[in-house]
Amino acid sequence: MKEKVVLAYSGGLDTTVIIPWLKENYDYDVVCCCIDVGQGNELDGLEERARLSGAIKLYIEDVVDEFCDDYVVPCVQGNAIYENKYLLGTSMARPVIAKRLVEIARKEGAVAICHGATGKGNDQIRFELGIKALAPDLKIIAPWRTWDISSREEEIKYCEEHNIYLPFSSDNSYSRDRNLWHISHEGLELEDPSLAPNYDHMLVLGVSPEKAPDEGEEISIDFEKGVPVAVNGEKMKVADIIRKLNELGGKHGIGIVDIVENRVVGMKSRGVYETPGGTILMEAHQQLEELILDKDTTIAKRQISVQYSDVVYSGKWFSPLREALQAFIESTQQYVTGTAKMKLYKGNIIKMGTTSPYSLYNESLASFTTGDLYDHHDADGFITLYGLSTKVRAMKMQEAEKNQNK
């Protein structure tokens, strides 16, 4: 029997070409594995396409709930936003895909895992670091780093030469990655940072703010220990909350981000991300934390959030550092329970009130009237001590200046 390779299969042109290429160059039996993280109708017709391309088997693995519960939620709790804009949609999905690829490889007795990520992108790192962490003995094959195919037209020609006639054309479209959390767009006019995105041609999950309804919509989101549990009072699992918020956010033009980001490999790249539901969830979670976390923890968590987002972006999900950072984040979520209300209006999320049984906001302290816990006179001694170093330095500087002028 031939040795087997498990191919991370999307059904797109790249992974379709890889099937005959693997058979020709490695003489492997190819087991295709499509991991469903919420890409929707992109999964239609995959079984026949994989078979016609020469695969011996196709797995379609639904990991949507695992993706949302074990990867998305920790990033929401950590307020993980890469370079202040990118909500890590692709970055969070790659480790759960790598994990399931390894599980299928073990089940099939495969000797290798193959992926279709390019040699310029971040995904090659995310896939391969995940596989190395979970199955260091498995071989990893990355065709885009070894074959001599260099364009979509050459891929189509390769398919024709191998008698694989599938519904692909050299169309002029964006390079996209989609899951339940987001969809990314790269290519075409986005390759020139001086050009505005063609949103009418591009958007998939919603509309631009200009085309959103003229009437705003109020919603509420309930959290328990940093985990979203309900929208508008209706309890539902995390995946369904994201689906609902995607619908609402897309309708109102929420969560469209145009960013030039720093890739792990060192280059800058431009992309447009649609993350309607995720943007709402992140904002609601941060609203609650404003009310609940003390100042010192808030400062520390902001620093951890930057580091955590960089670790996830860089493909190090299955690392001791990510686990250690996660432990800190989880400890901060013990009391992040309550409700965030907001209005969605033409791309904006407007705060409409936040409540929590663990709120640290004290009305008698915050008001301008003197309450039992705070005496205005106490500020005299506090400011004297708090400003002592500032006053001493100023006095010393005055003294030094006088000495110089003598």
Catalytic residue at 393?
no
Q: Please give the DSSP secondary-structure letter assigned to residue 7.
A: E
Q: How many CB atoms lie within 10 A of CB 181?
A: 28
8 Å CB contact between 15 and 116: yes
User: Chain-centre distance of CA 232, in angstroms?
Assistant: 24
Residue tagged active-site, from 49, 91, 94, 270: 94
Residue tagged active-site, from 10, 36, 53, 123: 123
Residue tagged active-site, from 14, 36, 177, 222: 14
Matching residue, tokens 């280059």: 267
Q: If 0-12 CB within 10 Å is exposed, 13-18 middle and 19+ buried, where does residue 67 land?
A: buried
User: Chain-centre distance of CA 267, in angstroms?
Assistant: 19
How many helices and strands (H and E) does the chain possess?
Answer: 15, 14
Separation of alpha carbons 46 and 58, rounded Å: 8
Transcribe 133-195 into DSSP letters: HH-TTSEEE-GGGTS---SHHHHHHHHHHTT---S-------EEEE-SS-EEEESGGGGSTTS
Separation of alpha carbons 28 and 139, rounded Å: 13
The continuous run of DSSP H or E covering 397 comes out as helix 388-404
8 Å CB contact between 339 and 220: yes
State the pairing for strand pair 139-141/29-36.
unpaired
- Tokens at residue 291, please? 């009310």
- Tokens at residue 62, please? 């639904």
- What is the chain's Cα-based Rg? 26
- Tokens at residue 210, please? 């200009």
Residue 400 pairs with which residues in a beta bridge? Answer: none
Catalytic residue at 178?
no
Residue tagged active-site, from 51, 69, 70, 175: 175
Catalytic residue at 123?
yes
The continuous run of DSSP H or E covering 280 comes out as helix 276-292
Catalytic residue at 36?
no
Catalytically active residues, by annotation = 14, 94, 123, 175
